[in-house]
Amino acid sequence: MAGVNNRLALLVRTGPCRSRESRAEADLALAALSLDFDVEVYFTGDSIMQLAQDKSGAGAGLPAGYKAWSALPELGSVQVFAESGWLNRCQRLGIGLILPVEGLGFAGMKQRWRRCDHVVVL
């Protein structure tokens, strides 16, 4: 890519423990960052629970693989978004998240991801 950072939007729709591979989404984000993409991750609905901070993840019903999300900022430019309602719910319930997350309405997220060069729905 020689000096050109493309923006990749990852739309994560899979809630915790609803896929066969607990870290497939995180692995795709890690791979994109290692290829010098600027990554924007959009968590819709309960998929934000993949970022629950509980030390073991067991309290949130998460397999260990979900902790891979915490490595994203070390590899490159990443921004993380979630639906405001779900983000507020996490705050109200005292659920800490392993990454800083910006809350947006669904329409706001859609507007942002449309400006990316590539979009992958997971």
Supply the CATH number for residue 100's domain: 3.40.1260.10
Contacts of 64 (CB under 8 A, 6+ apart): 22, 57
CA dihedral 48, 54, 57, 62 (to 10 degrees): -20
Q: What is the pLDDT of residue 9?
A: 97
Tell me whether residue 57 is in a domain.
yes
Tell me whether residue 37 is in a domain.
yes
Contacts of 114 (CB under 8 A, 6+ apart): none
Number of domains forming the structure of the chain: 1
Q: What is the pLDDT of residue 68?
A: 82
pLDDT of 6 over the 90 cut? yes
Amino acid present at 117:
D
Tell me whether residue 2 is in a domain.
no
Cα separation, 86 vs 92, in Å, equals 10
47-93 tens-digit pLDDT = 998 898 875 555 555 555 567 899 899 999 999 999 999 999 999 99
Tell me which residue range forms the domain holding 62. 7-121
Stretch (H or E) spanning 108: helix 106-113
Tell me whether residue 1 is in a domain.
no
